[in-house]
Amino acid sequence: MSANRVWLESLQGSGIRPGLGRMRAILRALRHPERAYRSIIVAGTNGKGSTSATLASILTAAGHRTGLYTSPHLVDMRERWMINGRTIDKVQLDGSIDLLRRTSQKIRILPTYFEALTLIAFIVFRDVGCELAVLEVGMGGRLDATNVVRPIAALITPIGFDHTEFLGTTLRKIAAEKAGIIHRGATVLTTNDAPPVVGVLRRRAEKFGNRFIVVREEHATPLRGDFQRRNVALAVRTARELGVDEESIARGVAQTQWRGRLERIDFGGKTIWVDGFHNAHAAAAVAPFIEENLPPPRLLVFGMMRDKAIDAVARTLFPLFECVIATEPYPPRSADADDLAAVARAMNVESKTERQPSRALALAMRSPQHSVFIGGSLYLAGAAVEYFDAKRKQARQNQYR
């Protein structure tokens, strides 16, 4: 690992420190790379990533040099920064970290880990000559590190309960935090339809005299899950508002790829689905898909961060499965696997514990169930993608020996 990567990883323990002061100071010292292109910012509780990926794909299909910043990554850190659908190369990443590190040390302001990742996005997108950047908010909106841009469009996907210790315990309070990404001059689009949420968003938009659009239609998509149709519709409507032609929209939607989100993998005689649902709102959205598309008996490989609404997710999903294998995708932040297994047993669902994700996945492949669902955390989705990619690569190599 290079010295620059070591410095970046050293920020991992910085935690969440809300506020935009550090971002603004470092951006001034960097001569404002975030102003070198137009930005679109995407907030919400669920669906931010797929909406962002779809919109970026459409803008790329329309001929724009487009940057996409999302989090977290599944396998390779460079997935967080995409240029026209491709991850940035290692030289670009190292150079951006080096510039950020030297600037931070010069002005004696140390960013948090997420702030650093966001600053790297701004630097990279400037240096490669992006015309447009699609930025996925990390958490909330008002105080998120991405919210230093003045976007041409502000998108807000479905809002539910998550990160309540930071964002508030009512939908109105959470919506107010998400609405913080709305600034003067931005077209505001949302798929939310709950009156309290829409009211909060509309008032913020009206404060600046911005156009406010509630997107209610659905749109065909290569992404699986009924809930994805509204996310894609939000991206499509945004593209139309930006003047993108219908042919580019159709091509961009068709070319959208978003790994680890209801991704199907056929391997070892089993049908395996991987999804990064990580809260009760997302679990409720994915449950109908499981019932309709996974023939019983079903097996769930499950791991979740301990600060999430584990009981609510478990009540929604565990009864759909004959067996749950509990694991820990991101210690020490993961919920204890033994505790997760105990929750399953309390629901009269068979459970097993395997703390290491790769071993949990291997155990699932030895199980009698042919329908396997893996999820509960994007970290677990990433571990599954990496595991099965390696297995399939090995199988192909063996085939030609």
The Cα–Cα gap between 64 and 151 comes to 16
- In sequence order, what E strands does 103-226 have? 132-136, 153-156, 187-190, 212-214
* CATH 3.40.1190.10 domain position(s) in the chain: 3-254
Q: Give the residue-averaged pLDDT of 225-233.
A: 82
Residue 114, both tokens: 């997420």
Q: With bands split at pLDDT 50, 70 and 90, how would you rate the model's confidence at 162?
A: low
Which CATH superfamily includes the segment(s) 263-399? Mur ligase, C-terminal domain (3.90.190.20)
Phi-psi category of 176—alpha, beta or left, where left has phi over 0 and alpha has psi -120 to 50? alpha
Residues 94-119 pLDDT 10s? 999 999 999 999 999 999 999 999 99
Q: Cα–Cα–Cα angle for 46, 53, 50, nearest 5°? A: 25
Q: With bands split at pLDDT 50, 70 and 90, how would you rate the model's confidence at 17?
A: confident
* CATH 3.90.190.20 domain position(s) in the chain: 263-399
Q: With bands split at pLDDT 50, 70 and 90, how would you rate the model's confidence at 258?
A: confident
7: which DSSP letter?
H
Q: Give the residue-averaged pLDDT of 80-92.
A: 96
Is residue 273 over pLDDT 90? yes
Asked if 176 contacts 167 with a C-beta cutoff of 8 angstroms, the reply is no
Is residue 242 over pLDDT 70? yes
Angle between helices 21-29 and 113-127 (to 10 degrees): 30
Q: With bands split at pLDDT 50, 70 and 90, how would you rate the model's confidence at 164?
A: low
Task: Say which CATH architecture domain 3-254 belongs to.
Answer: 3-Layer(aba) Sandwich (3.40)
Cis peptide, bond prior to residue 297, ω within 30 of zero: yes
Give the H or E element holding residue 81. strand 81-83
The Cα–Cα gap between 57 and 145 comes to 23
Mapping DSSP to helix (H, G, I), strand (E, B) and coil, where does residue 227 land?
coil
What pLDDT does residue 165 have?
57
Q: Give the residue-averaged pLDDT of 27-48.
A: 96
Listed range (123-127, 314-318, 375-379) with the worst mean pLDDT: 375-379
Got the DSSP string for 351-366? Answer: EEE-SSHHHHHHHHHT
pTM, two decimals, is 0.89
Q: Cα–Cα–Cα angle for 251, 138, 343, nearest 5°? A: 105
**71-99 as b/e, with b when 16 or more CB fall inside 10 Å?**
bbbbbebbbbbbbbbebbeeebbebbbeb
Is residue 374 over pLDDT 70? yes
The Cα–Cα gap between 187 and 185 comes to 7
Listed range (48-57, 208-217, 307-316, 356-365) with the worst mean pLDDT: 307-316
Strand pairing category for 371-375 and 298-302: parallel
* Residues forming a β-bridge with 156: 43, 190
